[in-house]
């Protein structure tokens, strides 16, 4: 391994004399921007979680005063008892924060920014300043959304999907400024995503290191590339729709106003035309990072690299032609519904290809259950459950029955929490040393993982059952229906599990912050991985490499017969390797 | 892996050394951005098409509400500014900075005049009672609605789609004029564009032609049919 050591010595930090504000606040360094996204979106994850806890209190113990609820104003929870109009705000804002301000920025904002230049071998993004603007418009959007919680008549109340006419007409929703701030914030989020996406796409196409061919890219980069294309083309549609919604709210236009000839269904089409690619924006990066972690934890090359890439591309393409499956009960023509059903069911094929490849990777591997590997394995298992329940929904006749019930809530949480968030817990621990130069605690990571895994399943699995029993989502108090009253003990069980799940996350937060200052100093390559980022010291210096390394092979060469160790990094030159043709002539 | 080669690599200008597509980053980035812009205008134009075809009654004939002649002139002006953009691009390819400055300035003037005429058009329309929410009570157009010359049922949709589509196009033209003015004073005037490196001109030109193309579509579907 002498070559690895030599590379490490060559790549020491540049002299960095930028002032503090340029270095950490208005930074154009992709790593700092990634870390900024990480801190801000973890904060929003906490906010979203707090909102969910209040919902669970009301559902588990309806009408009882919430502990600590006394601090809420009379208009939300008099005497700590949550009001229906506050409950619907909780539902709306929980969804909005989690989708737009937690999972999406955690996956794309953090890891596209942090990983792409490090993994493809370049000094920074193609457009560092646009990258900075992407973060700051996201930050502004977050502030606007947060502010909407505190305006006099409360936050938006039409659910995170903002169906019209409820969202467009203040006399129906009872909220005016809150609804408008939601629209403004979403327009800003769209801008942020578009700026980010165009950066990621340009960087991956144009700025790869010599020898980093398309089929030597790590799967995390492939998935972030396809995600960026989805974001680039889907977010402007959401922005357009949100602009029209805002105009309906403030300029009295009539886009979505059936009374003046506008079309309420048009909003659903525009929203889900964005919304379904969005679903894959929320899962593809997780799939990519999980692929990296599973190959590493199994000490085997990823099973079926090319089929993994084509599966990502196929999912990305099919994501555009399935949006109608969110609207089966909207009065859609059944023939059209069937075609949406078929296109949706086809997505099961590339998804299954990925799942089988992950299992093929682990099969007879030298499994090392580190914290990232545990979380990645949980991702695969939970994604299978979420994927299978997705097939129920894709079938129109079944969906008619379970539409808008807790079955859907269970499904989305199995893919978004069980899927994306487990992958994120893995990814945060995995790349933490490269971000901050320290390791997170392994023991507390495992405690956090197991408790999360147990309480997470206790929280969301029973929702399948209450959903099949007909419990509607966004329902303030299901006990108003006699047929839902027998399920109150189950709702109580879900709520208690949810509180424990939330409490478990505090372990993660403490571990995160404690390790930042007191964690074990990280080695350069603590996971013995092959990616280019591990050729850098921890934390990675400004500008990354002084000279980007040449790439000699794909990223998954574990247990290679020619290597002495059980891994063979992409940047290590074996005597049999030739210099890549695209390498610039050596300076002298 | 020596330090000498390292410094050279960092100091190299990104043009035209990028691997990958053999296209410099800003040009690639602009094409990618324009793909996103296509989707944005597709959302607005698609909405217009769906609302117009699904409207509860006849759509107002454009000639009654809008002054087509003035806008036709404006369209001509915008197309001319695209031509002058190409002239600026061709001039700097020949290494003629003076001509490039002249044609860039002409493009800026063309774009600014377009926005000016659009503002004039808007104020005139608002005066006559045409608003994003429909027709203002007691205005000139309200009388036409009362006479039956204009369809009452669809005027709201007409106002909503007209102002949103043309407004966002005008916003894009304004952004283009601002960018070109910025490039004129920071790059073109100090003579930073050369026969070898005219990336700014080419990139802003791509944007400008796109905005022009969108207008030709908008003019056709909003003013002509």
Q: Establish if B3 belongs to a structural domain.
A: no
Q: A256 φ, ψ to 5°?
A: -115, 20
Please check whether residue A567 lies inside any domain of the structure: no
Enter the DSSP assignment of A13.
P
The pLDDT, as a whole number, for residue B10 is 43
Q: Using CB atoms and an 8 Å cut-off, which of residues 241-300 of chain A contact chain B?
A: 241, 243-244, 247, 251-255, 257, 260-263, 266, 270
| CA–CA dist A423, A381 (Å, integer) | 11
Query: What H or E segment, with its residue span, contains residue B131?
Result: strand B130-131
pLDDT at A45: 97
Q: Is residue A37 part of a domain?
A: yes
Asked whether A51 and A93 are in contact (CB, 8 A), the reply is yes
CB A373 within 8 A of CB A297: yes
In a domain, B5, yes or no: no
pLDDT tens digits, one per residue of A327-368: 999 988 889 999 999 999 999 999 999 999 999 999 999 999
The pLDDT confidence band at residue A406, using thresholds 50, 70 and 90, is very high
A10 CB within 8 Å of a chain B CB: yes
Domain that holds residue A489: 2-12+24-535
Give pLDDT tens digits for A459-478: 999 999 999 999 999 999 99
Question: What is the pTM for the complete model shown?
Answer: 0.93
Question: Within a domain: residue B128?
Answer: yes
Round to whole Å and give the CA distance between A147 and A87: 18
Spacing of C-alpha B223 from chain mean position: 16
The answer, for A581 touching chain B at a CB cutoff of 8 Å, is: no
Contact flag A546-B6 (C-beta cutoff 8 Å): yes
Predicted local distance difference test score (pLDDT) of residue A387: 93
Q: How far apart are CA B222 and CA A558, in angstroms?
A: 61
B69 class by beta-carbon count within 10 Å (0-12 exposed, 13-18 middle, 19+ buried):
exposed
| Residue A569 located in a structural domain | no
Domain annotation covers residue B7? no
Assign residue B37 the CATH number of its domain: 1.20.120.80
Count of the separate structural domains present in chain A: 1
Contact A347, A322 (CB under 8 A): yes
DSSP state letter for A547: S
Chain A residues lying within 8 Å of B10, measured CB to CB: 14, 123, 543, 546-547
Q: Does B8 fall in a domain?
A: no
Peptide bond into B16 cis (omega under 30): yes
**Number of Cβ within a 10 Å radius of residue A37:** 26
The three-state secondary structure class of A209 is coil
State ipTM: 0.92
Question: Which range marks the domain in which residue B131 is found?
Answer: 25-224
Sequential pLDDT tens for chain B (225 residues): 344 444 444 444 333 344 677 788 999 999 999 999 999 999 999 999 999 999 888 998 888 999 999 999 999 999 999 999 999 999 999 999 999 999 999 999 999 999 999 999 999 999 999 999 999 999 999 999 999 999 999 999 999 999 999 999 999 999 999 999 999 999 999 999 999 899 999 999 999 999 999 999 999 999 998
In b/e form, how buried is each residue of B19-35, taking b as 16+ CB within 10 angstroms?
bbeeebbbbbbbbbbbb
State whether A232 and B32 contact (CB < 8 Å).
yes
Q: How far is CA A578 from the centre of its chain?
A: 39
As for how many domains chain B has, the answer is 1
Decide if B13 is inside a domain.
no
Indicate whether B97 belongs to any domain. yes
Is A480 contained in some domain?
Answer: yes
Determine the distance from the C-alpha atom of residue A27 to the mean position of all C-alpha atoms in its chain, rounded to a whole number.
23
Give me the mean pLDDT over the A427-444 stretch: 96
Q: Which residues of B touch A255 (CB under 8 A)?
A: 47, 51, 157, 160-161, 164
B14 in a structural domain: no
CATH code for the domain in which residue A240 is found: 1.20.210.10
């Amino acid at each position: 391994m002498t070559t690895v050591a030599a590379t490490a010595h060559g790549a020491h930090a540049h002299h960095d004399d930028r002032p503090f504000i340029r270095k950490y606040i208005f930074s154009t360094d992709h790593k700092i921007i990634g870390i900024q996204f990480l801190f801000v979106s973890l904060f929003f994850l906490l906010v979203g979680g707090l909102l969910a806890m209040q919902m669970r209190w009301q559902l588990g113990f309806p009408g009882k005063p919430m502990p600590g609820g006394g601090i809420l104003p009379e208009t939300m929870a008099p005497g700590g008892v949550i009001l229906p109009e506050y409950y619907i705000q909780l539902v709306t804002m929980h969804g909005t924060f989690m989708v737009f301000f937690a999972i999406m920025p955690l996956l794309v904002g953090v890891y596209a920014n942090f990983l792409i230049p490090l993994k493809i071998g370049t000094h920074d993004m193609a457009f560092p300043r646009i990258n900075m603007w992407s973060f700051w418009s996201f930050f502004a959007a977050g502030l606007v959304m947060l502010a909407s919680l505190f305006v006099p008549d409360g936050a938006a109340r039409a659910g995170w999907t903002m169906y019209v006419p409820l969202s467009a007409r203040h006399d129906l929703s009872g909220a005016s400024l809150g609804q408008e701030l939601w629209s403004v914030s979403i327009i800003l989020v769209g801008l942020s995503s578009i700026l980010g996406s165009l950066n990621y796409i340009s960087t991956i196409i144009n700025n790869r290191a010599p020898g980093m061919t398309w089929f030597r890219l790590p799967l995390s980069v492939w998935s972030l590339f396809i995600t960026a294309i989805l974001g680039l083309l889907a977010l402007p549609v959401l922005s357009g729709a949100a602009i029209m919604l805002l105009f309906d709210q403030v300029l009295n236009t009539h886009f979505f106003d059936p009374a003046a000839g506008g079309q309420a269904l048009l909003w659903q089409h525009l929203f889900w035309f964005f919304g379904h690619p969005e679903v894959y924006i929320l899962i593809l990066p997780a799939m990519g990072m999980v692929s990296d972690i599973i190959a590493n934890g199994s000490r085997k090359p990823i099973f079926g690299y090319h089929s993994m890439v084509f599966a990502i591309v196929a999912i990305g393409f099919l994501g555009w032609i399935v949006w109608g499956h969110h609207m089966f009960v909207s009065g859609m023509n059944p023939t059209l519904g069937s075609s949406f059903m078929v296109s949706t069911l086809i997505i099961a094929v590339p998804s299954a290809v990925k799942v089988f490849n992950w299992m093929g990777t682990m099969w007879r591997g030298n499994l090392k259950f580190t914290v990232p590997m545990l979380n990645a394995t949980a991702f695969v298992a939970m994604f299978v459950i979420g994927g299978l329940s997705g097939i129920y929904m894709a079938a129109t006749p079944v969906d008619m029955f379970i539409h808008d019930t807790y079955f859907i809530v269970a499904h989305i949480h199995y893919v978004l929490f069980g899927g994306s968030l487990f992958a994120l817990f893995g990814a945060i621990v995995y790349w933490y040393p490269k971000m901050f130069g320290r390791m997170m605690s392994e023991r507390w990571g495992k405690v956090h993982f197991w408790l999360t895994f147990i309480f997470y399943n206790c929280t969301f699995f029973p929702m399948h059952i209450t959903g099949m029993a007909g419990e509607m989502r966004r329902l303030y108090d299901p006990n108003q229906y006699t047929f839902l009253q027998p399920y109150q003990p189950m709702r109580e069980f879900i709520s208690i599990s949810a509180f424990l799940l939330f409490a478990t996350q505090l372990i993660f937060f403490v571990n995160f912050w404690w390790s930042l200052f007191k964690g074990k100093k990280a080695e350069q390559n603590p996971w013995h991985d092959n990616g280019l980022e591990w050729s850098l010291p921890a934390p990675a210096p400004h500008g990354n490499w002084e000279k980007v390394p040449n790439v000699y092979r794909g990223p998954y060469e574990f247990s290679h017969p020619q290597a002495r160790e059980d891994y063979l990094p992409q940047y290590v030159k074996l005597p049999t390797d030739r210099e890549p043709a695209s390498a610039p002539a050596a300076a002298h | 892996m020596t330090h000498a080669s390292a410094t050279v690599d960092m100091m190299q200008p990104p043009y035209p050394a990028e691997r990958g597509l053999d296209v410099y980053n800003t040009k690639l980035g602009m094409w990618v951005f324009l793909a996103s812009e296509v989707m944005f205008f597709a959302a607005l134009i698609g909405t217009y098409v769906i609302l117009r075809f699904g409207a509860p009654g006849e759509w107002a004939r454009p000639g009654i509400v809008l002054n087509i002649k003035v806008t036709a002139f404006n369209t001509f002006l915008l197309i001319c500014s695209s031509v002058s953009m190409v002239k600026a691009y061709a001039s700097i390819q020949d290494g003629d900075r003076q001509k490039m400055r002249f044609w860039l300035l002409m493009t800026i003037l063309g774009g600014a005049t377009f926005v000016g005429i659009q503002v004039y058009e808007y104020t005139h329309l608002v005066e006559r009672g045409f608003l994003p929410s429909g027709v203002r009570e007691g205005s000139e157009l309200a009388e036409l609605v009362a006479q039956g010359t204009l369809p009452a049922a669809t005027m709201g949709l007409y106002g909503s789609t007209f102002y949103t589509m043309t407004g966002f196009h005008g916003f894009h033209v304004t952004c283009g004029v601002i960018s070109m003015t910025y490039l004129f004073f920071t790059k073109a005037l100090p003579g930073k564009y050369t026969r070898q490196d005219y990336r700014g001109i080419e990139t802003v030109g791509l944007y400008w032609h796109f905005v022009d193309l969108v207008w030709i579509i908008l003019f056709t579907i909003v003013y002509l049919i």
